[in-house]
Structure 1
Amino acid sequence: MRDALLIERAKAARKAPTPAEQRLWFALRAERFAGVKFRRQKVIGPFIADFASNAPKLVVEVDGHLHGDTADYDAERTAYLTEQGYQVVRFINADVMHNLEGVLRLLEDVVNNPLSQPSPLKGRGL
């Protein structure tokens, strides 16, 4: 029951993607780093990832508190995803909107050199 409520909460919060999420999605679809295919708003267990790839197991999140304060939810989601073997990388809206090239370079580096340790909550930053 709790899992269904979490998924519904996430879906409700993400009905209208932010401009940053839209911008990154178009770039991810165009770039296809080393053949990596991302899916948007992928359900993984009781959570929804902004962008996810199964090979490598990578989740990309775009945060900026435009959907409200979700710090507890984000921490729980990150912990769950890393337990499932996903590397989680987070960007804030401003990074995506003002430094998309830097975001894409960092993602390319992550795809080509995956971490052997789970990533920290806030990602690697720019």
Structure 2
Amino acid sequence: MLHFARHLRSNATEAERILWRHLRKRQLAGFKFRRQHQIKPFICDFVCLEAGVAIELDGSQHADQMRYDEKRDAFLRSNGFRVFRFWNPDVIFRTGSVLETIREALRDAKMDGRFDWSL
């Protein structure tokens, strides 16, 4: 799994590269994000462990794997994560809207007390 996660990181899609530029180095509201992070048995595109937020970017292939995505989302939710899915074109052409949605989720996590200040 670790090898596969490394492969995904080094072969990021355009949408993943764009979003990562905004999430890395605590640029978004001071929260730390990881990319292609394993939460067994899945690898999430982006995850903020301290706020319990998982972000998945979907390309056209996801239309054919909806059951797999539903299973993954259910697993992540059962482990305390809020899951957000964005289509690649939305990330590329409406980056500001995507970032605002993520920012609101982080704000909600902080207000709900899900934010773990010790991390």
Q: TM-score, normalised by structure 1?
A: 0.74
The one-character-per-residue Cα deviations of 1:42-101 (angstroms, maximum 9, x if unpaired) are 000100000001110110111022477321211111010000000001100110010101
- Residue 69 (structure 1) aligns with: 64
Determine the structure 1 residue equivalent to 2:116: none
Amino acid at match of 1:81: L
Which 4+ stretches in 1 moved above 3 angstroms? none
Confirm or deny that 1:89 pairs with 2:84: yes
* Identity within the alignment, %: 36
Are 1:111 and 2:119 counterparts? Answer: no
What is the distance in 1 between the residues matched to 2:20 and 2:52?
17
Q: CA deviation at 1:31?
A: 5.8
- Give the total of aligned pairs: 109
**Residue identity in the other structure for 2:35:** R
The structure with more helix, counted as a fraction of residues? 2
Structure 2 equivalent of residue 51 of structure 1: 46
CA RMSD across the alignment: 2.7
Give the 3 Å change call, closer, same or farther, for CA 66–17 of structure 1 in structure 2. farther
Report the residue type matching 1:50 in the other structure.
D
2:29 to 31, 34, 42: 34
| Residue in 1 that maps onto 2:115 | none
Match of 1:16 among 11, 21, 43: 11
Unpaired segments of 5 or more residues in structure 2? 113-119
